[in-house]
Structure 1
Amino acid sequence: MKVILFGGTGMVGRGVLRECLLDERVTAVLAVGRNATGVAHDKLREIRHADLLDLAAIEGELGGHDACFFCLGVSSAGMGERAYRRVTYDFTLSVAETLARLSPGSAFVYVSGVGTDAQGRAMWARVKGETENALLALPLEAYMFRPGYIQPMHGVTSRTRFYRLAYVVARPLYPLLRRWFGPGMTTTERIGQAMITVAERGAPKRILGPADINAL
């Protein structure tokens, strides 16, 4: 299958990219983003594009793909709702609406989060919930991944300094955390593998929590 990847330089995106390049089910990956991934591979092609609200210049490159793995996102910490909504809702829907027009019925896997709720009190949960609902209304095979704690694997790291420090502290405790909170935890490796499986053959439901991701 041919895959488009957004957010390939972030923690989740880098993990997903690694799995796509390793998996024989994926024949080609097109990574779109502001910055290069720094990865060289025969299956990988990259497009540098900064403004996801205006895809006209690259639209001709986006059609004919079987799936889109949308891993782009930011932490809401210190952000107002307008700025957070621009990245979380506006960027995502701009891409998804374009792909729905170019490749209707293709798979679109969106990285959301545990606690997402369009009616929630927390700003981030509400905006992500609205994003999920809008994606599910499009003519795409859309799936919402709601991971909880994500353990980075194979040298993948977060771009957020606070999260990098937190993962360093938590790494020695991972076996205990997995024992205590096993169903609520996943890894960058499992997320990537689950996305490929969903794109290949679907899933029993459209909103998938950590245990669903691990099962896939």
Structure 2
Amino acid sequence: MVKRTVIIAGASGMVGKEILAGLLADDSVAEVHSLGRKPPTVQHPKLSAYIVDFSSLRLPVLPQADEVYLALGTTIKVAGSQEAFRAIDYDANLAVARAAQAAGVKKLGLVSAMGADASSKVFYNRVKGELENALEKMPFEGMVFARPSLLVGDREVLGQPERRGEKIGLVVSKLIGFLIPANYQPIEATAVARALLKAVPQAQGKTVLLSGAMH
């Protein structure tokens, strides 16, 4: 069996952390190269970590690889401004994709968001959609865009602030979840990671995964 080499950006985030755990546990993966603003919380013989200042978009030269997972993300509240948010969610992810392409990567997985649409009037959704559109223009053989609804996970463990919208969404889901369509129900970060890890290695063309399919 040919072993895979994988690149991941954003492995310290809620979904990225789960993607990294899955890659390290996968016997078909020989090497994992992690790009992040801070080092992953785990150490592993096949993990190489690179600390990157994404504001400068200066990325290390990456080794030849097969897949890349883009899980970099923030919020406008944490970033401090729309410009700072875009610098991470659009510019940094796109820079990693370009570096991965230069390293020979053929398959790409992206943690996007429900409602991603480049023509949206909502800034958050518009940036997510613009990133998807930019990635589609790149010559990857296969790409998978995961568009989760409200993410469920322990942000406190990750040192992230609680998101009020997620808390409200969870309460509503517990009360009337049976009335909410599957694509709009809160979803565990682990489910999103598992869906990407399954779909990306065999991806051909573009695939969009909504929450209903990832549950």
For residues 152-200 of structure 1, give each alpha carbon's deviation from its aligned partner in whole angstroms, at most 9, with x where no partner exists.
Answer: 27x98454312399559949x8766764547234322222222221222
Q: Which runs of 5+ in 1 are unaligned?
A: none
Unaligned runs of 5+ in 2: none
In structure 1, the partner of 2:182 is 183
Q: Which residue number in structure 2 is paired with residue 39 of structure 1?
A: 42
- The one-letter code sitting in structure 2 at the alignment partner of 1:53 is L
- CA RMSD across the alignment: 2.9
- One-letter amino acid of the counterpart of residue 85, structure 1: R
Larger relative helix fraction = 1
Match of 2:208 in 1: 207
Please, what TM-score do these two structures have when normalized by structure 1?
0.81
Assess if the C-alpha contact under 8 Å between 2:151 and 2:166 holds in 1: no
8 Å Cα contact 1:19-1:189 kept in structure 2: no
Select between 158-167 and 20-29 the one with higher mean Cα deviation. Answer: 158-167
Q: Which residue of 1 aligns with 2:18?
A: 15
Query: How far is the alpha carbon of 1:128 from its aligned partner?
Result: 1.2
How far off is 1:143 after superposition? 1.9
2:34 partner SS: strand
Aligned match of 1:54? 58
Q: Percent of pairs identical after alignment?
A: 26
Number of aligned residue pairs = 207
State the TM-score, normalized to the length of structure 2: 0.82
SS of residue in 1 equivalent to 2:38: coil
Give the residue type in structure 2 aligned to 1:43: K
Q: Which has the higher contact order (CA 8 A, sep 6+)?
A: 1
Q: Kindly tell me: are residues 169 and 108 of structure 1, through their superposed partners in 2, closer, same or farther at Cα, counting changes over 3 Å?
A: closer
What is the CA–CA distance in structure 2 between the aligned matches of 1:193 and 1:156, rounded to whole Å?
22
